[in-house]
Structure 1
């Protein structure tokens, strides 16, 4: 593995884990707390969160990891062999499908629907409690697992690339 790709892979392990941690916080306690607010408080807070998520730190990690994941898959397919190739490629594929694609296909459309809703309407409250909370949290948990798994797979792939310790 080239030094540049190796460095990117090491950074990607940490970045996968960081993104997993953000998603874990939402699935573990943020969404549950928002569900317990009175009236439209949870929906309003989530609308604000969804506007703020476009700040550069999280988006740089989220989008940057998609590019790095694709690079890792291609690199593993072309220049690695055996277990390291399978593990590195699997890490990239898991992130691309389990996090990036899930976000684009499931979470973002729900966020856009919620963003366009009037908080004073009963239909917003019904969407928030009956659709958004359970489905968004389910898919967010899938993203959490995918990011954690991508970190573990990439870490295992990097370990498999390392020479065995001298005895």
Structure 2
């Protein structure tokens, strides 16, 4: 029975699917030092039932406070970050292998390599998360969400 559950989990959460989320996020976020640390937040927030729908409904006037203002809903975010850490790493590697992203190792910067129409489907929820985060530093985002980068 557990192998069936594991197989369903692997189908739902795989690096090929979430690679598009990572790449979409980095097409809209500002290029700043240590933005690689933001990658840990993409899958946990975009796949979250409450925050995913809030992000999809967001607009240009939305702020980090209007989307994530209710801190009670963030109670399991650190656990989700820890749980999805392996998937995030695999998804980033998939994006790098496909030349969707490049890494500046010295400054821990991930940047989009796609200038025109991307060869993947833009995931609107991740793109909107990047647009929401681009006005803030990595430290501000982590302190507001009350989680620690791993």
Q: TM-score range by the shorter chain?
A: 0.3 to 0.5
Richer in helix (by share)? 1
Q: Which has the larger radius of gyration?
A: 1
Q: Structure 2 length normalisation: TM-score? A: 0.32
